[in-house]
């Protein structure tokens, strides 16, 4: 709504003033960067009855302000990224504080406090041990990849102990993944017609998510071990009653390993994670995900000057499938014990990497669903690029991971000017 | 920091001394005993391994056939390890789209290098797959191999003699790759007999046609090491060229090897990245 603009602008000015005008900070030394971006996405699939009638999935206009400064000695640094957004579909303005953090440290450690984007693991769009918040609606609707990651309000402590480093991330306020809810993007729900309510974990210290990574370089490979204690961010648990379906976030622990390194003229990646579904250890609660083992193996290689090919196999295997089957409510489609996934990515650059054509394919041979994303991207100048692509989803069943997004097929275009 | 002028003077003195030596004692100059492979090894040392470490600010101008320019601005750090292995760290300042991107290579003799890239938009550190002799470094005419070196043993080197080059004398060495995967079929290098810096290199494709030409456009002595502070790689076939200016160059700065780690990819060392 238009009346929100003054608030957004005022907030932006506050951010700017707080950073540029703070005592002891020379405005000249604050690095100011960012971009202006226009991002549209048009639904190309026919909607089913009950789907949102809008043709547009995105009409997104935004300015990202990226402000940062490192103290003279390099000991302290702050960084902020604020998106000022105008959604042309709803006419609403919004402000998204994507990052706002302070880092300090010494030779052997550093700590980053505040809202920050955290990513780890070795998969290409396949996340095994990275349980930091993701916005899947951004990916599905055709926003640039960076919007898949959402900032976590975290305390991120790093210890550098020579050959081994340790990273401990504590997130006091759990934020679940953003998933389609039928308002703009449609997805499968076993409870059609029921509105979604949400029950997040209580704001208690005991509900702090803790994610740990211990990593180092071993025999030519980057090796990492992971441990996570927190909640299922996606898929959520679902508890229906007569009036609504309540999404909740059951307790989850994950333990895993990853490796990545040069192998046979390419890059070999491997990752495994054991998902311990704490509130459904026997697998008999149909509203909570079963415990799982997730594995990933990938290989990527460059051919000649401009072509890169990559492939991955990944799987999610339920550990209590018979208990799951025994307690599955009538009418809810049954999932296989293991979901197998194959992905391929082909990237071809042209004209000194100023243009790029890429194709990402994700198929599940047993769930018989797919995701296809061809994209053309061109750097008009050093500052500006345009991208045009298509997101296509499909499957033989309407409830599978990608099959459920079938009616969100879209054609998207982005133009960005960076400064 | 000495100027080009002084370098020339030094070269002149060297040449004069050489001449005196020839006149006074008719012995072959020691350099003549070098094999082609030794010359290439010394050239690599002078070109990529001067000092124990290096810091430099690089400006790359990528110029296409029509004269349209693109700019890449970066800080490069390098440290040398025992046995000829090296570690490189590169931070990108410009353009805006790649700002804060970092890149790290650990080079090894005789096996594949390790390469990492940090993508700031998604805060992701990844290994980078690249074809050493073919993949373009950030869209320039330089390949990864041109930036961080190629094993001397990967080619057969033949000394074709000596020839005048600019104001100096150069060894002319022809290098033919032993494998069939390398982009070029033959490379001819003109290597300064005093500084051992490559002054010019011609890369011929596998059909024998001239493909790329490297020239050192300005050589300056920095901290006692002759350095090609302006250099150009031209893609003859495509009419595209990349001009690189090295400024703020410093050698033997005492860079800690520990800087060349994932930590720096995610959080570039502020003291070194100006």
DSSP A314-361: EEEEES-HHHHHHHPPTTSPPPPSEEEEEEEEEEEEETTTTEEEEEEE
Residues 6+ apart with CB under 8 A from B198: B43, B47, B189, B190, B191, B192, B214, B216, B228
The pLDDT assigned to B29 comes to: 47
The residues spanned by each domain of chain B are: 4-266
Of B136, B135, B139, B119, nearest in space to B127 by CA: B119
Of B200, B206, B205, B230, nearest in space to B218 by CA: B230
CB contact under 8 A, A74 and B134: no
**Residue B260: HSE in the Cβ half-sphere, 13 Å Cα cutoff:** 24
Contacts of B114 in chain A (CB under 8 A): 220, 261-262
CB contact under 8 A, A160 and B263: yes
- Rounded to whole angstroms, the Cα distance separating A92 from A11 reads 16
- Rounded to whole angstroms, the Cα distance separating A283 from A293 reads 13
B4-266 adopts what CATH topology?
outer membrane lipoprotein receptor (LolB), chain A (2.50.20)
Residues 6+ apart with CB under 8 A from A48: A186, A407
Residues 6+ apart with CB under 8 A from A45: A406, A407, A408, A409, A410
Contacts of A354 in chain B (CB under 8 A): 70, 139
The shortest CB-CB distance from B71 to any of A144, A260, A382 is to A382
Structure tokens at A114: 């505040």
CB contact under 8 A, B122 and A146: yes
The pLDDT assigned to A267 comes to: 96
- Rounded to whole angstroms, the Cα distance separating A8 from B188 reads 62
Contacts of B138 in chain A (CB under 8 A): 353
Query: Is domain A4-418 annotated with CATH 2.40.160.100?
Result: yes
B11-46 pLDDT, tens digit per residue, is: 444 444 444 444 444 444 454 589 999 999 999 999
Average pLDDT over residues B80-106: 93
The pLDDT assigned to B19 comes to: 42
Report the gap between the CA of B64 and the closest CA in chain A (Å).
9
Contacts of A122 in chain B (CB under 8 A): 126
The pLDDT assigned to A242 comes to: 87
The pLDDT assigned to A269 comes to: 98
B135-153 pLDDT, tens digit per residue, is: 899 999 999 889 888 899 9
Contacts of A62 in chain B (CB under 8 A): none
Residue ranges for chain A with pLDDT beneath 50: 1-3, 21-25, 27
Report the gap between the CA of B63 and the closest CA in chain A (Å).
10
Q: How far is CA B252 from CA B51, B54, B260, in A?
A: 6, 6, 16
The residues spanned by each domain of chain A are: 4-418
Query: Is the pLDDT confidence value at B7 over 60?
Result: no
Chain B interface residues (partner A, CB cutoff 8 A): 62, 64, 70-71, 94-97, 99, 112-115, 121-124, 126-131, 134-136, 138-141, 143, 183, 240, 258, 261-263, 267, 269-271
CB contact under 8 A, B136 and A145: no
B163-199 pLDDT, tens digit per residue, is: 999 878 999 999 999 988 888 999 999 999 999 999 9
Residues 6+ apart with CB under 8 A from A365: A340, A342
Query: Is the pLDDT confidence value at B240 over 80?
Result: yes
CB contact under 8 A, B262 and A165: yes
Report the gap between the CA of B237 and the closest CA in chain A (Å).
13
The pLDDT assigned to A299 comes to: 98
* CA-based nearest residue in chain B for residue A269: B127
DSSP string across A286-323 = TTSPPPEEEEEEEEEEEETTTEEEEEEEEEEEES-HHH
CA A399 to chain centre: 21
CB contact under 8 A, B127 and A262: yes
Share of residues in chain B with pLDDT > 90 (%)? 71
Residue pairs spanning A and B at CB distance below 8 A: 110
CB contact under 8 A, A383 and B97: yes
Angle at A334 between CA A331 and CA A338, to 5 degrees: 170
* CA-based nearest residue in chain B for residue A167: B263
* Cβ proximity of B166 and B190 under 8 Å: no
The pLDDT assigned to B11 comes to: 47
Residues 6+ apart with CB under 8 A from A245: A189, A191, A194, A195, A196, A197, A238, A239
Structure tokens at B104: 């790290």
- Rounded to whole angstroms, the Cα distance separating A112 from A281 reads 34
Residues 6+ apart with CB under 8 A from A218: none
E-strand ranges in B99-235 read 102-107, 114-119, 124-127, 155-165, 168-177, 186-192, 198-204, 210-222, 225-235
Q: Which residues pair with A101 in a beta bridge?
A: A79, A114
CB contact under 8 A, B112 and A265: yes
CB contact under 8 A, A215 and B262: yes
Share of residues in chain B with pLDDT > 70 (%)? 88
The shortest CB-CB distance from B96 to any of A35, A301, A353 is to A35
Average pLDDT over residues B77-96: 93
Contacts of A267 in chain B (CB under 8 A): 127-129
* Cβ proximity of B243 and B229 under 8 Å: no
Q: How far is CA B223 from CA A149, A291, B55, in A?
A: 45, 62, 12
DSSP state of A134: B
Contacts of A160 in chain B (CB under 8 A): 258, 261, 263
The pLDDT assigned to A166 comes to: 98
The shortest CB-CB distance from A305 to any of B95, B112, B134 is to B134
CB contact under 8 A, A267 and B135: no
CB contact under 8 A, A352 and B240: yes
């Amino acid at each position: 709504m238009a009346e929100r603009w003054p608030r957004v602008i005022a907030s932006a000015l506050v951010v700017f003033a707080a950073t540029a005008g703070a005592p002891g900070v020379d405005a000249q030394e604050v690095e100011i960067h960012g971009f202006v971006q226009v991002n549209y996405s048009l639904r190309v699939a026919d909607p089913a009855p009950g789907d949102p009638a809008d043709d547009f999935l995105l009409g997104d206009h935004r300015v990202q302000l990226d402000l940062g400064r490192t103290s003279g000695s390099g000991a302290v640094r702050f960084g902020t990224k604020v998106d000022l957004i105008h959604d042309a579909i709803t006419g609403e303005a919004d402000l998204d504080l994507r990052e706002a953090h302070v880092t300090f440290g010494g030779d052997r450690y550093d700590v980053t406090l505040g809202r920050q984007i955290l990513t780890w693991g070795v998969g290409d769009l396949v996340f095994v041990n990275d349980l930091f918040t993701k916005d899947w609606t951004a990916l599905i609707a055709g926003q640039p990849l960076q919007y898949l990651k959402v900032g976590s309000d975290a305390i991120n402590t790093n210890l550098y102990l020579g050959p081994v480093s340790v990273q401990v991330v504590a997130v006091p306020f759990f934020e679940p993944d953003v998933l389609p809810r039928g308002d703009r993007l449609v997805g499968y729900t076993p409870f059609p017609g029921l509105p979604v309510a949400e029950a997040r974990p209580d704001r208690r210290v005991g509900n702090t998510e803790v994610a740990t990574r211990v990593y180092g370089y071993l025999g030519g490979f980057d090796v990492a071990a992971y441990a996570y204690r927190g909640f299922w961010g996606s898929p959520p648990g679902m508890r229906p009653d007569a009036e609504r379906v309540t999404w909740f976030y059951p307790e989850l622990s994950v333990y895993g390993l990853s490796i990545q390194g040069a192998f046979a003229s390419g890059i070999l990646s491997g990752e495994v994670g054991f998902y311990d579904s704490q509130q459904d250890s026997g697998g008999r609660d149909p509203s909570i995900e079963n415990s799982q083992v997730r594995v990933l193996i990938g290989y990527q290689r460059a051919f000649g000057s401009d072509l890169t090919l990559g492939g991955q196999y990944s799987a999610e295997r339920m550990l209590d499938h018979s208990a799951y089957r025994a307690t599955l409510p009538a009418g809810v489609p049954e999932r296989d014990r293991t979901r197998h996934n194959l992905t391929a990515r082909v990237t071809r650059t042209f004209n000194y990497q100023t243009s790029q054509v890429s194709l990402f394919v994700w198929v599940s041979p047993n769930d018989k669903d797919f995701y296809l994303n061809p994209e053309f991207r061109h750097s008009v100048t050093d500052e500006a690029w345009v991208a045009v692509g298509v997101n296509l989803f499909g499957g033989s069943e309407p409830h599978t991971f990608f099959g459920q997004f079938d009616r969100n097929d879209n054609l998207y275009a982005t133009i960005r000017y960076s400064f | 920091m000495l100027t080009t002028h002084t370098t020339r003077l030094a070269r002149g003195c060297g040449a004069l001394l050489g001449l005196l030596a020839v006149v006074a004692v008719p012995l072959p100059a020691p350099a003549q005993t070098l094999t082609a492979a030794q010359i290439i090894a010394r050239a690599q040392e002078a070109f990529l391994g001067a000092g124990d470490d290096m810091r430099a600010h690089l400006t790359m101008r990528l110029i296409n056939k029509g004269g349209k320019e693109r700019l890449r601005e970066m800080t490069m750090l390098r440290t040398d390890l025992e046995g000829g292995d090296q570690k490189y760290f590169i931070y990108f300042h410009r353009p805006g789209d790649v700002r804060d991107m970092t890149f790290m290579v650990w080079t090894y003799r005789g096996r594949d290098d390790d390469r990492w890239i940090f993508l700031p938009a998604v805060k992701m550190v990844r290994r980078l797959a690249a074809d050493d002799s073919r993949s373009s470094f950030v869209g320039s005419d330089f390949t990864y191999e041109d930036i961080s070196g190629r094993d001397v043993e990967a080619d057969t080197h033949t000394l074709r003699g000596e020839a005048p080059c600019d104001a100096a004398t150069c060894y002319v060495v022809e290098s033919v790759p032993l494998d069939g995967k390398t982009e070029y079929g033959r490379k001819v290098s003109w290597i300064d007999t005093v500084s051992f810096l490559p002054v010019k290199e011609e890369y011929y494709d596998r059909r024998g046609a001239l493909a790329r030409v490297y020239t050192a456009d300005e050589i300056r002595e920095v901290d006692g090491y002759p350095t090609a502070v302006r250099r150009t790689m031209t893609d003859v076939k495509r009419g595209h060229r990349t001009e690189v200016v090295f400024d703020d160059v410093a050698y033997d700065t005492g860079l800690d090897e520990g800087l060349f780690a994932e930590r720096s990819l995610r959080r570039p060392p502020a003291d070194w990245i100006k």
